[in-house]
Structures are given as structure tokens and as C-alpha cells.
A and B are shown apart, each in its own frame.
Chain A
Amino acid sequence: MSDELEMMGDIIEEFVVEAEELVEKLDGDFVTLEKQPDDGELLNEVFRSAHTLKGMASFLGFAGITKLSHRMEDVLNKLRRGERTLSPGMMDVLLEGMDRLRTLVEEVKEHQKEASDVSDVVEKLQGVLEGAAVLEESSETVVNGVEGDGAEIIEAEAGKDASSDASEEEEASPESEEPVKEEVPVIPEKEEEEDAGDTMDVDAFSEEMTEILQDFILETEEIIEKLDHDLVALEGRPDDLDLLNEIFRSAHTIKGTSSFLGFTQMTRLTHRTEDVLNKLRKGELSVTADRMDALLEAADAIKMLLDRIKEQNLEKVDLSHVTAMLEGTMTEQGGTPPVREQKPADAEPEAEKPVDKKPAAQASVKEAPGEAKSSPPKMPGKSVTDQTVRVDVDRLDNLMNWVGELSLEKNRLNRITSLFEGAEDVEELSGQLNDVNAKMAFITTELQTAVMKTRMLPVGKVFGKFPRMVRDLARDAGKQIDLQISGEETELDKSVVEEIGDPLVHLIRNAVDHGVEMPADRAKAGKPEKGTVKLCAEHQGNHIVIAIEDDGKGMDPEVLKKKAIEKGILTEADAERMSDRDAWNLIFAPGFSTAAKVTSVSGRGVGMDVVKTNVAKLNGIIDIDSELGVGTKILIKLPLTLAIVNGLLVKVSDEIYIIPLVSVLETVRPQPEQMSTINGREVIRLRDHVLPLLRFDEVYNVPRNNGHMDIPYVVVVALADKQIGLAVDDMMGQEEVVIKTLGKYLGDMQGIAGSAILGDGRVRLIVDVADLVRMGKEE
């Protein structure tokens, strides 16, 4: 997590870069869309772009961009659901919106803030939303009649829009897992205020200071993360004095270092926090939900201050709200229950008063974050600072060690080679050579592992933020949920760790929101009132398997099918013969959301779509298992690294290809009776599954001398939630290979993920399972 922050660097600049790309892409896509208004895939793509833009802008508090992209998203959503068809007039408005978005991004680029007013376009979009007919009078209807006719069709949508509209402070968009609730609205307003909040002037960022500052930021990030984590833990164990001391020390450290560097606001805030903690420690105050809220709020505020320091923005921030909360908890003594044991029973008895500690405006915009979610963690991905890894010295030593061994063997090899010249006892020498060879093989394997390990991070980096997120979500929903995390020490490649955070956020939100029932319902069903969400990671061979399991109500395949039919994702006929597993997978379809009521956590069905997309990007597999009334378990299987792939070598005609083993479910020698065709497409029957069958040579245009082949082998590959069979001539075993790109010149070749140099020195191509699965669908 601290990594994630590390990466955020100059966040605005990054935002601009990304936003420009998105606007560029949107522009192009819109034009294509006009030509192909029925292209659902494209619509989803456009929707996602707008959505991402909205998320990022709202995260940074750019109200104009947020509002505008939000409206565009609304319109696109209607198009996507088929509730509207794309008319030229509508396109005009959308394109106008695009232009204004571009202007806003320009403005942010130039002046770090938005200047122009976009309410006119927002209104026009609103008009489009209510039906093209009322386009002219749309301006009167902005605030209330939001959804107009659409309301009955999807009450969820209407509820959402109405509420987000009511609070025009979209910019507040709270981020529960990126605890920035408080700071976001502050940024734009404070922009004009020249009143310097901290005593430090711009010199603070002179070169000499930079290093000290970076250390400070790095260290403080780690402490805050720990603080966050410890505070949540404290709520469950209010009597744990060691933990309290630990928390106190954390706050104390931040106070010390920040005061040293002259960040007075941060110092003051941590000082207040420390005061509260001190009283808790001494037993003068007890741990209550409200106090915890205040403390967590304070932790968020500290984090926000830190983020601003990173952006080199030292303007004063209004923290009165947080300090008031802290003060409040200190004087409230009389009202607090004297008995500490009252709390621990369960962490959430405060569910009845969930909003009192948050300003009304923010409570009301709670609708937005569901979607905003997806974007912020993505931004760091492109950062430059992101390219560094902190490596444990032990690992480097180990690496050095193996390199040393390697040069020893190399010397031995040299010696043997020289002995060969004019040697009589060749047999003896070849024995030695064999020995060297074996050692070299061993060392290079170890070396490879060691190098790989320098890129490995514990998955706990991502898990760290979840306890807080689940706590906040559960509180807001009035649910009682215990998050159990295990296997956080499981390591995987840095690049994978970065990509996996996002999908996990959505899956956990999903479990909390849709999985676990309200306490009353749970009691009725004879379950403990407090639900459990388990998050667990473990290694399985060369893969990591992450499981998200809840003991909630489970998913009803019939309900899912019905919903999918309603949304036009599924035909009744298809639903008939759909297996339960396939029905569960429907939740990953774009635009699918089963929540009867839209809450802060359930968005517009973008979330699960993101999960699928991201997991597919990592060549991962998703597996769902659910039992009505018992719970749902979602498994994500991912490769440990993106740099090395364990591949299955297959032979097709005279060519050899590599299929990433992580995508391979099984290989079969099909019997003739397993093969058949449905609607002219070849399929293979595997136990109770019917999978589309692709012939490798046809997909990859492999030249073949001997006509139409029968099918000796079928490799069953899977990606995210899809499976297909791939017909090949022969299996050539498996090999661990280092992935190399085909380079810029060839660019992205369809169906090819990259290349690798095999033991024989030849280049072989790695099959892109994602593309294959897509082709399987299209054919």
C-alpha cells in the first residue's frame, strides 16, 4: 500500500496525462460509435473510459470534469442498456461534452484547476437523458426530475442519480479504501486561498531537502498504513494495551518528524490525536465507535496532508471538522460507557447511528464511490516512480551468492575446454563436462528464482487496506462483518500485486454488499448475526490462488438468469440450458448488477466487469462457487509473475507454440463421440461441459501439407470465466520461459502474447489465451 502511495507522485500531472489519453480515446471511439451504434463492446468501452475519467476526477476533486463525465456516463449507460438509441442530436451533445472535457483537462494542465463553467453542457446532457424531445426545456429540470421516464425501468438507477444530483458536491466522492473522504472537497476550494498553512515556504522543496522529504514521506506512509490497520484492530480488541501503545507510538513518531520538518498542520493534528490516544491508554477514556471514527478520520486527514506534501502543496487545509471530532471525543467523557467490555462483543453496535460523524453532504454522495473505485488505484500504474522496487538485502546477498557460483562453474568450464585440446582421456573429460553442465543448470535455475524474488512483494501490501474498507462499508450498510485475512505473506510479482488490488476491492465490496445479509435476516436464517468474509491467498505450484469467501446468502442462479434476461444480456432459450456455474458467471457481464437498491457499494455493474478485465489481463482464471443460503466463494488463480511463464509446448504441423500453463485446465485425447457441432461450430463435450473447439492450425494459419487432420489432442484453456478447447497435433512437454515482447515494430499481434527463446535457441511464440477465447466467442 505504501507502494501505491509512493507511486502517486505528482498526482495531478499524472491525472492530466491519463485524462488526455482518455479524452483522446473517447473522441475516437465516439466517432466510431456514430458509425456503429449497435456495437455493444464499443459502448462498454466508451462507458468504461468515461467512468474511469469520472473516477479519477472525483478522486482529485475536479468537480467540472466529474459532473460532466458523470452525465455522459449516464447517457452512455442508457445507450448501453438499450433504453435509448443513439441519434445524431444526442451524438452532437456527447461530442460537445467531449470538447468541454478536453478544455477542462487543458485548464487543469495549465493552472492545476478548472476554470470554465460546464453547467450548460451538463444540462444539455441532462436533457438528452430525459428524452431528446425535451432537449430545449432541459435546463429547468436539472436538479429534480432526474431520470424522468427511465425511473420505473430501473429504480436503482433513478435512486442513484437523484441522490448524486441532490448533492452537487460530486467532488466529495468518498473513497473508502483510499481514505480520502475529508480532503477531496477541500482541494478546489482552497486553491485560491493564499493563506499559507504551513510555516515552510517553497524552499522546503529545494534539492537538499528533497531527499529528507522523500524519506519522511516514505516513512510516514508506512506508519499511516500501520496506524490505519492497528486502529481497526483496536476496535475489535479495545483492551489490548500493547496495541494501544503501538498506535500511540506511531502517532508520536509522525508528530516528531513532521514538527522537525515544519509541517505544523500535521504536527498539530497528530498532537491532538495523541492526546486522545493517551487518555485511552491511561484508561481515562474507553474505546467507542465514535472515538474510533474520530481517530480514523484523523488518520485519513494525516494521510491527506501527506499527499499534499507530496504534491508540494502547502496551503492550509481546513481541518476544523476533524479536530472538532477529536475534541468532542475527549470531552464527551460522561456519555461514554464506563465498561470497556461493552465494546468488544462486536465491532459494530454503532450501526444505528452510522452517519452522525460525517457531514451530511458527504453522506449523501455515498452513491458515487461504487464506480469511482475502479480508477484511483489504476493511476499509479503509469507513474515513473513506480519503476523502483525495494529489495531485501538478504535477497540481494543470495543473488550475489548464486552469481558467484555461476562464475566458479564458468571457470571450470573454461578449464575443461582447454583440457580438451590434445586430450587423450576424452571420456573422463566428458564426465566432468556433464557435471559442470548439471551444476550450471541448477545454478541458473536458482539464479532465475533469486532475480525473480527481487521483484516479489507480499500480497499483504494489497490486503492491508481491506480491514478498514470492510469496517467502513459494514458500518454504512448497518451490517456486522468480520474480515478474516490469511496468507498475506504470500509473495507475487510486483506487477501482479499492482493489478490485483482493484479486482479485489470489487470482489470484497461485492461480498459485503450483496453477500452478507443484514443482521436481522441472518438471525432469521439461524446464522450468527455477524457475517464473515474470508480473504485468503496461497501458492499452488507456479500460481497464486486468492479466495474471497463469504457466509452470506449465496447466489441464486435463477435470479441471476432472470435479471440477465431482463437486461437483454441473455435469451430465454440460452438461460434454459445454462448451468449454475455459467449463471454465476453472469455477474461478470458488463452492465449486470443485481442489487435491488443501489448503495454506496454497488455501482452500475462496472465493478465485476473490471474484475474480469483485470484478471484476464493477468492471464488469470476466475472460478465461482456458491450455495444458496450458505455463501459464495470466488477463486482467482494468477501467475506469480508476468516476466516468466511456465509454458506447455504444443506442436502444430511443423511449428511449436507455447501455451501459458496457468491458463491450461487439462489436456485430453478426445474420443470421436466427444466431438460434435452446434450451429456449425465445432464443440467438444467434456463431462458435463460443452466447450467451443478451435483448431490451432486454422486460428494461426499454420501451413499444413496433409489435409484435414483428425484431432489427437485437445488442450482445454481458460481465461477468467471462459473456457475453450484447442486442437493441437502433439504435446512437447513443458518449459519455464522468459517472456520477450515481439517489439514495437510488430506491435500487438492478435493471438500472440509474446515470444520466448527455448533451450534449442529458437524463438517460439507464446499464445495469447485472452485473444483465443475471444476468437472462440466470435466464431
Chain B
Amino acid sequence: MAEDMMDQVESGDASETGEDLLQLVSFKIGEEEFGVDILNVREINRMVEITRVPKSPEYVEGVINLRGKVIPIVSLRKRMGMPEKEQDKDTRIVVVELEDQLIGFVVDAVSEVLRIPRNITEPPPETASGVDAEYITSIAKMDERLLILLNLNRLLAFGDREVLKEAA
């Protein structure tokens, strides 16, 4: 997987000034393509066995052992209200670091690392393809495709703890 990611880096659309570039990790959930800032991403792992945590919010899949650390795993599908899907060989756990904590989230497949100029991003429309607008930072329009840039803090319920608590 590492190689195909490297390939893709080269194929990134943007190579203008090098200054106002966003470097993203993009991944797929269903037919849609999402991106998160690469600076947040610590690593990408294959699926491992997840230990369920009773009474946790429904979108929390459980916890895993990441080299001796116990980290929570969130299902982005459940979090964004999309139908569930059996895991397969492409399923990945993207581990991100937010507020000094590691959190993993499950995605259908990781596609590539890419660079895009900031100026091709737009604020999200009110209803963006079934995903709650509040979880979206912006939308990048590239040639044939649409990349949804996710607001991880929102999505992973930072600053949204009340919801988490209630659910718990």
C-alpha cells in the first residue's frame, strides 16, 4: 500500500507555488471520497480485532492495542449515519492524533496522499451528499472528482463531548 500511495503523491494535481498547498490523505467510504490533513494522520493500519466497549456510543467500535497503547476506534460510517458494511481486505484503520490523543477510525479503503492548492476548495453546501455539513471543513473540486475535507475535531466528537456523554 505504501507504494501505491507514493505513486499517487506524484500524480497530485497541484504543483504551482508549493506554498498554499494542502497535503491530504484521501480515503473512501462508499462511493464518496474524503480527505483529512496529513498532519493529523499518524499511521494507517489494516483491520485488527476490536474489543467492544459496553455502553459506549454506538459509533465507537471499541478499542485496539496499538503497540502497547489502548486507543479507541470510531466507525466513520456509523458516525456519519451511513449504512454499515462488512469489512473486507481494503478496510483500514486511519490513526490520527487530535488534542494529544490517538484515535483510529475505520474507512472502506485508503486511496492516496495528494496535494491540492487551497484555492480549489470551497465551503460546504448546505446538504453535502448525506454527510452532515457540520462535519465538513470544505470541498475540493478536482477535474473529475469531488473530495470532501473532513473536520476531524467535529467528527470525532471533540468539542461535542456532550453528545458522547449522553450516548454513554
- B53 and A749 contact, CB distance less than 8 A: yes
How many residue pairs bridge A and B at CB < 8 Å? 66
Contacts of A655 in B (CB 8 A): 51-52
Any chain A CB within 8 A of the CB of B150? no
> Is the CB of B35 closer than 8 A to any CB of chain A?
no
How many angstroms between the C-alpha atoms of A160 and B165 in the bound complex?
Answer: 42
A residues 682-705 touching B (CB-CB < 8 Å): 700-702
Contact B54 A700, beta carbon cutoff 8 Å: yes
Q: B54 near A751 (CB under 8 angstroms)?
A: yes
A749 x B65 contact (CB < 8 A): no
Chain B residues close to A by CB (< 8 Å): 49, 51-56, 60, 62-65, 68-72, 99, 101, 103, 156-157, 161, 164-165, 168
Taking a contact as CB atoms closer than 8 A, the residue among A702, A742, A744 that contacts B63 in the complex is A742
Q: Which residue of the partner chain, among A701, A745, A761, contacts B54 with CB atoms under 8 Å?
A: A701
Contacting residues, chain B, for A763 (C-beta < 8 A): 51, 62-65, 70
Say whether A762 contacts B168, CB under 8 Å: no
CB distance from B25 to the nearest CB of A (A): 20
Pairwise interchain contact A755-B168, C-beta atoms closer than 8 A: no
Q: C-beta contact mask, A755-779 vs B, less than 8 Å → 1, else 0?
A: 1010001111100000000000000
Q: For the complex, is A398 an interface residue (Cβ under 8 Å from B)?
A: no
A655 to B54, CA, bound (A): 11
Q: Are A745 and B55 in contact (CB under 8 A)?
A: no
Interface centre among B51, B54, B71 (most CB of A within 10 A): B54
Q: A743-B70, A743-B71 are in contact. Are A749 and B54 (CB under 8 A)?
A: yes
Minimum C-beta distance from B60 to chain A (A) = 7
In angstroms, Cα B49 to Cα A528, docked, is 67
**29 interchain pairs, CB-CB under 8 A:** A700-B54, A702-B54, A740-B69, A741-B70, A742-B53, A742-B70, A743-B72, A744-B99, A744-B101, A745-B103, A745-B157, A746-B53, A746-B56, A746-B60, A746-B72, A747-B165, A749-B54, A749-B55, A749-B168, A750-B168, A751-B54, A751-B55, A752-B55, A755-B51, A757-B70, A762-B49, A763-B51, A763-B64, A763-B70
B6 CB to nearest chain A CB (Å): 30
A746 and B71 CA atoms in complex are apart in Å by 9
Q: Nearest Cβ distance between residue B33 and chain A, in whole angstroms?
A: 26
Tell me the smallest distance from the CB of B87 to a CB of chain A, in Å.
17
Tell me, in angstroms, the Cα distance from A761 to B65 when the chains sit together.
7
Q: By the criterion CB–CB under 8 Å, are A740 and B55 in contact?
A: no
Residues of A within 8 A of B63 (CB): 742, 746, 755, 763
Q: Which residues on B sit within 8 Å (CB–CB) of A702?
A: 54
Contact partners of B168 in chain A: CB under 8 A: 747, 749-750
A741 to B52, CA, bound (A): 15
Structural contact, B65 and A747, CB atoms closer than 8 A:
no
Asked whether B72 lies within 8 Å of A745 as measured between CB atoms, the reply is yes
Verify A752–B71 contact, CB threshold 8 A.
no
Q: Are A757 and B65 in contact (CB under 8 A)?
A: yes
Nearest chain A CB to B84's CB is how many angstroms away? 15
Q: For the complex, what is the distance from the CA of A742 to the CA of B101, rounded to whole Å?
A: 11
User: Which chain B residues border A741 with CB–CB below 8 Å?
Assistant: 70
Specify which chain B residues have a CB less than 8 angstroms from the CB of A745 in the assembled complex.
72, 101, 103, 156-157
User: Are B51 and A752 interface neighbours, CB within 8 A?
Assistant: no
Closest to B51 in A: A763
Q: Determine the residue in chain B with the shortest Cβ distance to A755.
A: B70
Residue in A743, A747, A751, A764 whose CB lies within 8 Å of B51: A764
CB of A182 to closest CB in B, whole Å: 46
